[in-house]
């Protein structure tokens, strides 16, 4: 728990930025054509996440309760510190939603639910949970492959941000492409509209746990490779 306030502040600021910028893109999306709006929303989320993960990853860099859950199940964070992260993430999301409500035009805010996601009538709850789980699996797999693995390429948070962009482009029209319980919960608290919250909690948590455990068990280096696992050399 040492230095927990610094971790709290980093997670709060990063999640606030994600909800504020991502929600702002959704709120202003009615001004754009449908296809342009999806691209705009996807890149707004991806860019701000890439920048904020890069800015905070020296301290924390999760900015997502599902990512924190992945770290918790692989014992890469203490349970009490995970609680600190979760409190910071959900608090940042809620405060950002209140900021959006106070700063954007009321008529647009009401129409777009403060940038909160909603489920399409074309998908069932089970389908929505599955879509969110798969997209979050990709996200957490990339987190472990680019930020956790000691052999990871030094790309900051940009690969993580691009994964969120891809996820929203892929499933956004059906579920909103949350991949982050805090991102969906903040606007829901302020608007009192909790539609689809089961998908936005269960899907990301399931996907995050699966990705974290798979990467930890299958890809994470544990010890030096035996000599006989190296390149085949000709006999002298």
Say what the pLDDT of residue 29 is: 86
pLDDT at 76 over 60: yes
Say what the pLDDT of residue 2 is: 60
- Which one is predicted more confidently, 113 or 69? 69
What are the percentages of helix, strand and coil residues in the chain, rounded to 5?
75, 0, 25
Residues 103, 90 contacting (CB under 8 angstroms) = no
Say what the pLDDT of residue 49 is: 96
By percentage, how much of the chain surpasses pLDDT 70? 92
Say what the pLDDT of residue 141 is: 97
Tens of pLDDT, residue by residue over 20-73, are 999 999 999 877 767 788 899 999 999 999 999 999 999 999 999 999 999 999
pLDDT at 235 over 60: no
Short-list 177, 18, 185, CA closest to 87? 185
By percentage, how much of the chain surpasses pLDDT 90? 79
Mean pLDDT of 160-188: 96
Global pTM value: 0.90
Q: Looking at the domain that runs over 4-220, which CATH code has it been given?
A: 1.20.1080.10
Short-list 42, 48, 71, CA closest to 209? 71
Lowest mean pLDDT across 27-41, 100-114, 203-217: 27-41
Domain ranges across the chain? 4-220
For residue 71, CA distances in Å to 76, 92, 161, 179 come to 5, 20, 18, 16
């Amino acid at each position: 728990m040492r230095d927990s306030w610094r971790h709290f502040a980093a997670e709060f600021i990063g999640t606030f930025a994600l909800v504020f910028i991502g929600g702002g893109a959704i709120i202003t999306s009615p001004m754009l054509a449908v296809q342009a709006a999806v691209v705009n929303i996807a890149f707004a989320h991806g860019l701000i996440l890439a920048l904020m993960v890069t800015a905070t990853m020296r301290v924390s860099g999760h900015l997502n309760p599902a990512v924190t859950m992945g770290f918790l199940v692989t014992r890469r964070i203490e349970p009490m510190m995970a609680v600190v992260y979760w409190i910071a993430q959900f608090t940042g999301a809620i405060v950002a939603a209140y900021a959006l409500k106070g700063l954007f035009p009321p008529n647009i805010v009401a129409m777009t639910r403060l940038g909160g996601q909603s489920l399409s009538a074309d998908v069932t709850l089970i389908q929505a949970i599955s879509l969110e789980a798969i997209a979050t699996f990709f996200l957490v797999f990339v987190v472990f492959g680019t930020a956790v693995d000691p052999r990871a390429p030094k790309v900051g948070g940009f690969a993580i941000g691009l994964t969120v962009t891809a996820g929203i482009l892929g499933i956004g029209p059906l579920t909103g492409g949350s991949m982050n319980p805090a991102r969906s919960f903040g606007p829901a608290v302020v608007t009192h509209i909790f539609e689809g919250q089961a998908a936005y909690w269960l899907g990301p948590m399931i996907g995050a746990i699966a990705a974290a455990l798979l990467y930890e068990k299958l890809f994470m280096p544990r010890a030096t490779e035996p000599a006989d696992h190296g390149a085949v050399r000709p006999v002298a």
